[in-house]
């Protein structure tokens, strides 16, 4: 099985690497990164240049498309040729998926029109502007389109996807191998759980 | 504040990138990667070559040392000059930390002797062989030495570390920004929770 993750300049590292970590352990899965200009691709913080050798349009088909977000979603959404490619690839995937503001990219490609979907909490209004119905859930599956909420939600989505691509035992084994037994020291991981001053502080980190 | 993460060939992506994602959002923090041979450094799955321009011994001091694990821990443990550097750096850090089998590296450097510590569940015996007292907890702090369990545990550790380096409000805001409100679809993230057949299947993924 062939999973393709487009990485553009200013990508959010965990959006892409969380799912990569989970999916790369699945027997029979190959994960490939693609980009718009092959070579080093910088992340949003600027300390992690990743070498991506493949231009997106060298890929004509894949089983799963996984679009991460971060600062890179603007470049993806402003590139009509890339959005065309997303639509073309989507026609042949088993699953088309996004993490964080990667959901805005699927929306801009017209793939979420009329669908219930999720994205980073701070991008909810933008998602709705493309005709998607935003829901503050962590992972939303509508047939073969799966969207995940912000950043770390890609890990949960990738485990669900693993079960869909293989079976539940494999997904559970990958969860154990990556020791994904989360115990966050605080409980303010969603807007519903965070007081207003923490929401303001979080917005200021952007 | 200066946080240094050594990346050697065959590193486990999420071990390093989980904490990087959290810590890079902390105001006033700079995260840097270092390696043994500057240039592209390959991850354990082979699809994510990261360009690391700095050799570890170009760094003489930092506030936090964070040693990730994965296939790279062998190369780190077999390099006496690197273990010397770890000891030298540790003498001046505010916190010396590890994720996954990065704990074995701290142990091989002699930093965990007599301390309670954690690592990937599959490396517990190896950790104990260096005189550490393995405990199957997710994050273990002993004064200024903090060890985290396997792979994804580095995210929890990094949030705790954020609170120690700044304050709890900042850590909560970073948790919200990265939308770390984990909802794994299964509950087999630790050996204590996984049935024997899943433990065997997980071992076979190694």
What does the pLDDT look like over A122-154, one tens digit per residue? 999 999 999 999 999 999 999 999 999 999 999
Nearest chain A residue to B202 by CA: give it: A173
Q: Do A156 and B24 touch (CB under 8 A)?
A: no
Cα dist. A78→A36, A72, A82, A106, A114 in Å?
12, 10, 8, 12, 22
Say which residue the tokens 């020291």 belong to. Answer: A185
Contact by Cβ (8 Å): A70, A152 = no
Region label for B149, one of left (φ > 0), alpha (ψ between -120 and 50) or beta (otherwise): beta
Question: Which residue of B27, B139, B180 is in closest CB contact with A189?
Answer: B180
- The pLDDT assigned to B206 comes to 81
Q: Which of A66, A76, A100, A161 is catalytic?
A: A100
Distance from CA of B172 to the nearest CA of A (A): 6
Among B193, B70, B180, B185, smallest CA distance to B120 is for B70
- The pLDDT assigned to B33 comes to 98
Mean pLDDT of A38-49: 96
Mean pLDDT of A172-182: 98
Distance from CA of B136 to the nearest CA of A (A): 11
- The pLDDT assigned to B53 comes to 94
Quick check: A69 pLDDT over 90? yes
Distance from CA of B97 to the nearest CA of A (A): 17
Beta strands in chain B (DSSP E): 2-6, 30-34, 39-41, 50-52, 64-67, 95-99, 116-117, 133-134, 139-142, 145-148
pTM, whole model, 2 decimals?
A: 0.97
- The pLDDT assigned to B86 comes to 98
- Chains A, B: CB pairs < 8 Å: 233
What percentage of chain B's residues is helix, strand, coil (to nearest 5)? Answer: 40, 20, 40
Interface of A with B in 167-196 (CB under 8 A): 168-186, 188-191, 193-194
Contact by Cβ (8 Å): B147, B103 = yes
A33 touches chain B (CB under 8 A): yes
DSSP state of A123: G
- The pLDDT assigned to B52 comes to 97
What is the strand order of the sheet A39-41 is part of? A39-41, A50-52, B50-52, B39-41
Q: Do A151 and B21 touch (CB under 8 A)?
A: yes
- pLDDT per residue as tens, chain B (206 positions): 999 999 999 999 999 999 999 999 999 999 999 999 999 999 999 999 999 999 999 999 999 999 999 999 999 999 999 999 999 999 999 999 999 999 999 999 999 999 999 999 999 999 999 999 999 999 999 999 999 999 999 999 999 999 999 999 999 999 999 999 999 999 999 999 999 999 999 999 98
Domain that holds residue B181: 2-204
- The pLDDT assigned to A46 comes to 95
Contact by Cβ (8 Å): A27, A87 = no
Quick check: A206 pLDDT over 90? no
Q: Do A152 and B185 touch (CB under 8 A)?
A: no
Q: Sort A74 into a burial class: Cβ within 10 Å, 0-12 / 13-18 / 19+.
A: middle
Instruction: Give the burial string for A50-72 (b: 16+ CB within 10 Å, else e).
Output: bbbeeebeebeebebbbbbbbbb
Distance from CA of B191 to the nearest CA of A (A): 7
Mean pLDDT of A168-194: 97
What is the C-alpha to C-alpha distance for residues B127 and B101, in angstroms, rounded to an integer? 9
Question: Which residue of A25, A138, A177 is in closest CB contact with B183?
Answer: A138
B166 touches chain A (CB under 8 A): no
- The pLDDT assigned to B181 comes to 98
CATH of the domain at A11: 3.40.50.880
What is the C-alpha to C-alpha distance for residues A83 and B108, in angstroms, rounded to an integer? 50
Among A4, A28, A179, A92, smallest CA distance to B47 is for A4
Q: What is the mean pLDDT of chain A?
A: 97
Query: What is the percent of chain A where pLDDT is above 90?
Result: 100
Distance from CA of A113 to the nearest CA of B (A): 24
- The pLDDT assigned to B50 comes to 97
Tokens representing A25?
């352990």
Mean pLDDT of A7-28: 97
Tell me what ipTM this predicted complex has: 0.96
Partners of residue B51 in chain A, C-beta under 8 Å: 40, 49-51
> In chain A, how many domains are there?
1
Q: Do B197 and A169 touch (CB under 8 A)?
A: yes
Tokens representing B37?
């041979």
- The pLDDT assigned to B152 comes to 97
The reply to whether A62 belongs to the active site is no
CA triple A100-A101-A105, angle to 5 deg: 130
Torsion angles phi and psi, residue A169, rounded to 5: -60, -40
Q: With bands split at pLDDT 50, 70 and 90, how would you rate the model's confidence at A97?
A: very high
Tokens representing A10?
């200013």
A81 touches chain B (CB under 8 A): no
Q: Which of B4, B76, B100, B112 is catalytic?
A: B100
A149 touches chain B (CB under 8 A): yes
- The pLDDT assigned to B82 comes to 98
């Amino acid at each position: 099985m062939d999973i393709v993750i487009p990485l553009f300049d200013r990508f959010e590292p965990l959006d892409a690497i969380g799912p990569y970590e989970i999916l790369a352990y699945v027997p029979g899965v190959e994960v490939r990164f693609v980009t718009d200009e092959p070579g080093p691709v910088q992340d949003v913080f600027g300390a992690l240049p990743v070498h991506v050798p493949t231009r997106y349009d060298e890929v004509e088909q894949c089983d799963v498309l996984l679009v991460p977000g971060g600062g890179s979603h603007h470049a993806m959404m402003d590139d009509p040729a890339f959005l065309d490619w997303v639509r073309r690839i989507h026609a042949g995937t088993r699953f088309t998926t996004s993490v964080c503001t990667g959901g805005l990219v699927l929306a801009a490609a017209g793939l979420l029109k009329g669908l219930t979907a999720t994205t980073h909490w701070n991008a909810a209004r933008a998602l709705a502007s493309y005709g998607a119905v935003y829901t503050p859930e962590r992972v939303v599956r509508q047939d073969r389109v799966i969207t995940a909420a912000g950043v770390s939600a890609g890990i949960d989505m990738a485990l669900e996807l693993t079960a869909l691509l293989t079976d539940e035992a494999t997904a559970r084994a990958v969860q154990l191998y990556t020791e994904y037994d989360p115990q966050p020291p605080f409980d303010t991981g969603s807007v519903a759980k965070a007081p207003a001053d923490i929401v303001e502080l979080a917005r200021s980190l952007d």
